[in-house]
Every structure is written in C-alpha cells, then in structure tokens.
C-alpha cells in the first residue's frame, strides 16, 4: 500500500493532535462520550455535565444521523449542532459531530472542534477531499467492510488536501457473527500504530452494539494501545431515539472512566 503522508518512518515519534487542551497520541487516554444523537437541550446538557464530572475530555453528539432506515430519527440538523456547541462551551469540552454531505462541511465546521466521518462515508472520496480542505481535525471511522488498506488510503485522501490532523477510529467490522452488531478488530490497533503516525481511537458502542460489552472491549482496546475511547451514553437509554441498547447509563459510565484511567496508566507506564 502506498502511504505518502500518513506513513510512519522508522523511529518516527507518534503524532500528537491537539484539540484545545486535549492531546490525541499522548500519554493520557482521550475519552470521548455523549449521546448517539443530540435529542434536546436537557439531554445534551446532562450528558455534557456527566462527561465533565467523570473526567472525560470531548463531547460527542450526532446532528446529521446516518440511519439505516429513512423512517428513523434523522437528527436535529443545525439546531442539534447549536445545542452541542452550547453544551460543550458551558462545560468546557470540545465537541465532535458527524458530517454526511459535502454541502454540510461548511456549516458543521462553524460548530465543532473535530469533524467526524462516519463508517458509511469512509469511501466517499469527495467528502474526504472536502474535509481535507478544512483546518479542523478529522476523525475517520473505519468502514464496516473496509480493509486496513482501504481505511488508510481513505486517510491519505484527507491528508492529500493538506489536512494532516487525522484521528482514526475503529468501530467494528461486519463478519458472519450476528450476536454482536459488529466485530471489533482489536488487532487493528497495533497494526495501525506500526503503519502510520496517526492516533487511533476505538468505539466499542458501535463496535459491539451491546451495552454490557462496552466496558470489557474498552479495556481490551486500551491494553492493545488505543489512544482514546469513544462511547455513547444517555440519561435514559431505554428512551433514546437512536442506539439505546449500546448506550451506557451515567453511573456505569462514571465507573468505567475510573477503571479506564487506572488501566491506561498501568499500560502506558509499564
């Protein structure tokens, strides 16, 4: 595979991507959390508060949602971005949200600190080029049927336009297994670390689709060298408009953050 811009030359140090005070690729594990979708003011503000109190770093929340069915909740659009930004500013957390369309890149850039490219758009090359022209860090999720090569070459598209602030995100791939929503590829963490200088975040919420698997898979990802974990949380997962079954309750999230931080210091120091 021909990587020209995101490849790792021998002995090259890990690239650090700084977003506000948060550093991807440093010693500290970056924790990104929030609801799948921004639903209303109360929901996003209470989520932001718990991310902050727990010691998380970045607030997530979808405003333009890529739903499998056109009849499912599609997100609040720009109103969702406004609420996300307000909640992030109030609790001093940078925010991340997904862009689905080249026509939305400009508006999303006005509200977020990190632009997310979702799994379904990983090979939308016009969109990759468009975010590559911005000066915002981009989180590139792995497509659900993308090989490592497909994924890293997609990152090259962004880099080729001049934007080298790319954070990779493993979110599970489709396999024959149906018990889980996707199969989390833990091996890809050291693979990506060997091939590129980019930081890698793991999303065990979409990676498993099951709340009870989020904690063990987060820990497995940390042990394998992940730079960050992104997960979905919700004040009342049973009533979530999207991805309730994989969203953590606030109390469980707080406990998991404590455990992840302890594990990360063990892994990074030893």
Closer to ligand PEP by CB, 197 or 208: give it: 208
Binders of ligand PEP in range 190-249 (CB under 6 A): 206
Binding range to Mn ion, per CB under 5 A, among 15-23, 127-135, 165-173, 238-246:
238-246
Please identify which residue in the block is written with the tokens 């469980």.
252
Binding range to ligand PEP, per CB under 6 A, among 9-17, 112-120, 188-196, 214-222:
112-120
With contact defined as beta carbons under 8 Å apart, do 95 and 58 qualify?
yes
Residue from 36, 189, 202, 229 in contact with Mn ion (CB under 5 A): 36
Closer to Mn ion by CB, 36 or 146: give it: 36
Binding range to Mn ion, per CB under 5 A, among 22-30, 36-44, 48-56, 134-142:
36-44
Cα(266)–Cα(270) distance, rounded to whole angstroms?
A: 6
With contact defined as beta carbons under 8 Å apart, do 48 and 34 qualify?
yes
Q: Which of 157, 124, 118 is nearest to 243 (CA)?
A: 118
Torsion over CA: 52, 215, 165, 265 (sign): positive
171 binds, among ligand PEP, Mn ion, none (CB under 5 to 8 A by kind): ligand PEP
Q: How far is the CB of 133 from Mn ion (least distance, A)?
A: 27
Residue from 119, 153, 159, 256 in contact with ligand PEP (CB under 6 A): 119
Q: How far is the CB of 144 from ligand PEP (least distance, A)?
A: 7
Closer to Mn ion by CB, 45 or 73: give it: 73
SS3 at position 237: helix
Structure tokens at 4: 């020209």
What is the 3-state composition of the chain as percent helix, strand, coil, each rounded to the nearest 5? 40, 20, 40
Structure tokens at 33: 């959390």
Binders of ligand PEP in range 160-189 (CB under 6 A): 171
Residue 36 touching ligand PEP (CB under 6 A)? yes
190 binds, among Mn ion, ligand PEP, none (CB under 5 to 8 A by kind): none
Residue from 85, 91, 141, 234 in contact with ligand PEP (CB under 6 A): 141
Residues 86-116 as b/e (b if ≥16 CB within 10 A, e otherwise) read bbbeebebbbbbbbbeeebbeebeebbbbbb
SS3 at position 136: coil
Where do contacts with ligand PEP occur on this chain (CB under 6 A)?
A: 36, 62, 66, 98, 118-120, 141, 171, 206
């Amino acid at each position: 595979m021909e990587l020209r811009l995101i490849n790792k030359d021998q002995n090259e140090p890990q690239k650090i991507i700084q977003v506000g005070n948060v550093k991807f690729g440093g010693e500290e594990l970056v924790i990104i959390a929030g609801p799948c979708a921004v639903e209303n003011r109360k929901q996003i503000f209470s989520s932001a508060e718990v991310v902050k109190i727990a010691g998380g770093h970045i607030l997530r929340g979808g405003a333009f949602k890529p739903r499998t069915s056109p009849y499912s909740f599609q997100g609040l659009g720009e109103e969702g971005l406004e609420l996300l930004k307000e909640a992030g500013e109030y609790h001093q957390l940078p925010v991340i949200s997904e862009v689905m369309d080249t026509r939305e890149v400009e508006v999303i850039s006005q509200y977020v600190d990190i632009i997310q490219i979702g799994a379904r758009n990983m090979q939308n090359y016009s969109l990759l080029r468009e975010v590559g022209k911005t000066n915002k860090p981009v989180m590139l999720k792995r497509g659900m049927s993308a090989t490592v090569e497909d994924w890293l070459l997609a990152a090259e598209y962004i880099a080729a336009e001049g934007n080298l602030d790319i954070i990779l995100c493993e979110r599970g791939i489709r396999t024959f297994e149906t018990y889980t929503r996707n199969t989390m590829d833990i091996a890809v963490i050291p693979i990506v670390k060997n091939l590129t200088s980019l930081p890698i975040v793991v999303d065990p919420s979409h990676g498993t689709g099951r709340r009870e698997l989020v904690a063990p898979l987060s820990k497995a990802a940390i042990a394998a060298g992940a730079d960050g974990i992104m997960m979905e949380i919700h004040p009342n997962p049973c009533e979530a408009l999207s991805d309730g079954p994989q969203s953590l309750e606030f109390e469980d999230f707080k406990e998991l953050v404590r455990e992840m931080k302890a594990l990360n210091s063990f892994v990074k120091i030893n």
